[in-house]
Structure 1
Amino acid sequence: MILIALGANLEHPEHGSPRATLEAALAALEARGLRILQRSRWYQSAAWPASDQPDYVNGAALVDCDLGPEALLGVLHEVEENLGRVRGEANAARTADLDLLAYHQEVRNEPDGLVLPHPRLQDRLFVLLPLMEVAPGWRHPIKGLNVAEMARALPPDPSVRLLLEDSA
């Protein structure tokens, strides 16, 4: 199972709302050879850590591809950059944030490189709720917990909610 998280909280000059930009990101991934097997609905959440940034739109996708994890991460970064992502300050607002959450059951922790599974996915309800829709049975290869168990271990977060179809 290859799992990707998507997030954005800034308008894009061409695509518009964060949700529309993330739809464009999914299309761009497909154009680069990824097969979107399943995708979640969109969720809205407050910026993390708490700040005066606009709310985020978040989602998740189950994908398949012929790329290895490093090459796939490169494609994710390329799509982010093409959608206006500027890497700089940590946790800054962004037009697109595409994270490789898991690449099958691989575990990696390379200095200044790839970390699998994503090191903070189990700490973020805005990642786990969409992930439950696309991979409810996926088990964290280090923690041994499935997605629902990781979500239940977190405190409630009323800022994470399903984004209505007619909303941004």
Structure 2
Amino acid sequence: MILIALGGNLPSRAGAPRETLKAALEELDHRAVKIVAVSPYYVTPAWPDPKDPPFVNAVARVETALSPATLLAQLHQTETSFGRVRSTRNAPRTLDLDLLDYDGRKEPGPPELPHPRIADRAFVLVPLADVAPQWRHPQTGRSAAEMLAALPEKDRQAARPTS
């Protein structure tokens, strides 16, 4: 199972963040990445500065013949095509695409697999539990729901479904 996290909190050429995520999925489909399933979209507070615009987040299950490194390059090219500018870490952005897992591989990277911060991020775990409830972390064996339950309740409650 190949899993990609999507997020953004600034408008892009596609419009508001939710429209950007949808358009990015369409663009990935033209980059040899077949979209199998997409979680519901969630709104989450910006972190580390909650005064920044809130993020829209989702997780997609995909299929591709691309290698992990080539897939990551395609993700970065897609981010750039939607106006992503890499500045400071955790800065507001039009689009953020993270490769979470690639068929259970454990690799030091790049890209590091599985993504090293999956277990710490409710904004990833909530949509991940929706789109891939059977998925298990390749190193710990825990499901997204189990990792989510280990986070503080305020983090779990912060991810709200969009209308």
TM range (shorter): over 0.9
| Counterpart for residue 158 of structure 2 | 159
Letter in 2 for 1:42: Y
Give, as a single letter, the amino acid of the residue that structure 1 aligns with 2:36: L
The one-character-per-residue Cα deviations of 1:95-118 (angstroms, maximum 9, x if unpaired) are 0000000001101113xx311111
- 2:56 equivalent to 1:87: no
The residue aligned with 2:73 is 74
Contact residue 32 and residue 66 of structure 2 kept, 8 A: no
Within 1, Cα distance between the matches of 2:33 and 2:101?
Answer: 15
Residues 88-138 of structure 1: per-residue CA shift (max 9 Å, x gap): 20000000000000001101113xx31111111111111011111111111
SS at match of 1:28: helix
**Aligned positions of 1:35-54 closer than 5 A:** 35-54=34-53
Indicate the percent of aligned positions where both proteins have the same amino acid. 49
SS in 2 for 1:148: helix
Displaced runs of 4 or more, over 4 A: none
State the 1:51 CA deviation: 3.4
One-letter code of the match for 1:19?
R
The answer as to 2:119 corresponding to 1:122 is yes
Deviation of the 1:37 alpha carbon: 0.6
* TM-score, normalised by the number of residues in structure 1: 0.93
Q: Which residue of 1 aligns with 2:11?
A: 11
Structure 1 residue identity aligned to 2:140 = K
Whether the aligned pair in 1 keeps the contact of 2:75 and 2:97 (CA below 8 Å) is yes
TM-score if structure 2 supplies the norm length? 0.96
Q: Which blocks of at least 5 consecutive residues in structure 2 are unaligned?
A: none
**Cα drift, residue 34 of structure 1:** 0.9
The CA RMSD over aligned residues, in Å, is 0.9
Instruction: Give the secondary-structure state (helix, strand or coil) at the position aligned to 2:158.
Output: coil
Distance in 2, Cα, partners of 1:144 & 1:159: 25
How many correspondences in the alignment? 161
SS of the residue aligned with 2:35? Answer: strand
In structure 1, the gaps of 5 or more residues are none
Aligned to 1:22: 21
Q: How does 1:55-70 map to 2 (within 5 A)?
A: 55-70=54-69
